[in-house]
Amino acid sequence: MISVNGLSKHYRIASREPGLTGAVKGLFSREYTIKRAVDDISFRIEQGEMVGYIGANGAGKSTTIKMLCGILTPSSGEVTVNGLVPYRDRKRNASQIGAVFGQRSQLFWDIAVRESYELLKHIYEIPEREFKETIAMFAEVLQLEPLMGMAARQLSLGQKMRCELAAAFLHNPSIVYLDEPTIGLDVAVKARIREFIKEMNRLRETTVILTTHDMQDIEEICKRILIIDEGKVLYDGSIQSIKDRFGHKRVVHFELEAEGGFAFELPEPLIGLAESAVGEEGRVSLTFSNQAVTAADVISAMMQSYRVRDLTIADPTIESIVQELYERGI
Ligand SMILES: Nc1ncnc2c1ncn2[C@@H]1O[C@H](COP(=O)(O)OP(=O)(O)O)[C@@H](O)[C@H]1O
Ligand SMILES: [Mg+2]
């Protein structure tokens, strides 16, 4: 569905000396620096995949997505989306994609949401029957009915995002790009949005590319992630295998007998191997690398020093792994 080969985008940024002198000099001579926003990346995405595209701010995510959408022309390299070169065939490409960009809206500000959908129906030439069925289905899954008569400007953030999602999927696009679709939303709305995306993918085999800072979005929606850093692909693979390769950290939460005051000290055999965090009422969490010490050894050392009432072993989250990848590199 998507094929990207040696793709780069370099921005030319006019550099200017500070102050008035700099501004005046800048009128006569310009010096430029080159920003390699996307730097020789390659990947392929098959139809029906849902891929998380993640990276720190400024990593190059939006620039990549804009090239996939045809908004930006690459500096070099190749990109095809469902057989089209997006920046050459912008119009045809636009008819096969849907997109939700954080701050941008495709709803018309001042008219009822229902009317916006009517307009999109005409723009994308959606047959009336298909349109009616789609709207009915979306209204149910995203609970849009009470919002249909409201103008976009009257909607709360969560309401607006639900309406935006419906707009992006309305014309049954082959690919949908979602740039931070759940940012700032409460838990219930996030859950509904994730359900909707998964449902669309299941029913229509929509290919989804998702950028988000919410790792729970990623874990629930995507099997595969691409991690991008300074314009380069750091990692491309399944979430499971990144956990297997990099998820050495384990956390065990203990609940200890703590009557009559309680001062926790790390048992002798674990010193230097585990870090402790002490909570209230005898709760202690130990963090360690499973390459340095096994969970079994940690637990048995704790049981020899304390009366353990309960314990749970936590799986490393993709969030903690990605954090570490950013900090230390691959
Ligand atoms: N139009 C532009 N002109 C110059 N530099 C830009 C432009 N757009 C983005 N950049 C720079 O390119 C880099 C990548 O930006 P972007 O793709 O928006 O990152 P992300 O979406 O991952 O946060 C950043 O350093 C950003 O400042
Ligand atoms: Mg961005």
Q: What is the assigned CATH class of domain 247-328? A: alpha beta
Considering only CA atoms, which residue is closest to atom 12 of ligand 1?
37
Ligand 1 atom closest to Cα of 179? 21
- Ligand located closest to 33 CA: 1
Cite the beta strand spans of 257-315 per DSSP E. Answer: 274-278, 283-289, 308-314
pTM across the whole model = 0.80
Q: What is the pLDDT along the chain (330 residues), one digit of tens a residue?
A: 999 999 999 998 877 777 777 777 777 777 788 999 999 999 999 999 999 999 888 899 999 999 999 999 999 999 999 999 999 999 999 999 999 987 678 888 899 999 999 999 999 999 999 999 999 999 999 999 999 999 999 999 899 999 999 999 999 999 999 988 888 888 999 999 999 999 999 999 999 999 988 888 998 999 999 999 899 998 999 988 887 777 778 889 999 987 766 789 999 999 999 999 998 888 999 989 888 899 999 999 999 999 999 999 887 677 777 777 777 665
- Buried b vs exposed e over 67-102: b needs ≥16 C-beta within 10 Å? bbbbbbebbebebbbbebbbbebeeebbebbbbbbe
Domain positions in the chain are: 47-243, 247-328
In the chain, what is the greatest distance between 2 CA atoms, to the nearest angstrom? 78
> For the domain 47-243, what is the CATH code?
3.40.50.300
Among 32, 39, 54, 63, name the best residue to mutate to test ligand 1's pocket (greatest count of ligand atoms within 8 A of Cβ). Answer: 63
* CA torsion angle 78 81 83 86 (round to 10): -70
Distance from Cα 133 to the centre of ligand 1, integer Å: 39
Q: What angle do CA 20, 21, 23 make, to 5 degrees?
A: 60
**CB under 8 Å to 129, separation ≥6 — which residues?**
none
CA-CA-CA-CA torsion for 10, 60, 238, 202, nearest 10 degrees? -110
Q: Which of 42, 83, 21 is nearest to 231 (CA)?
A: 42
Q: Which residues line ligand 1 (CB under 6 A)?
A: 11, 13, 35, 37, 55, 57-63
Q: How far is ligand 1, taken at its centre, from the CA of residue 37, in Å?
A: 6
| 288-294-300-303 Cα dihedral, nearest 10 degrees | 20
Q: What pLDDT shows up at residue 55?
A: 86
Q: How would you classify the pairing of strands 97-101 and 175-179?
A: parallel
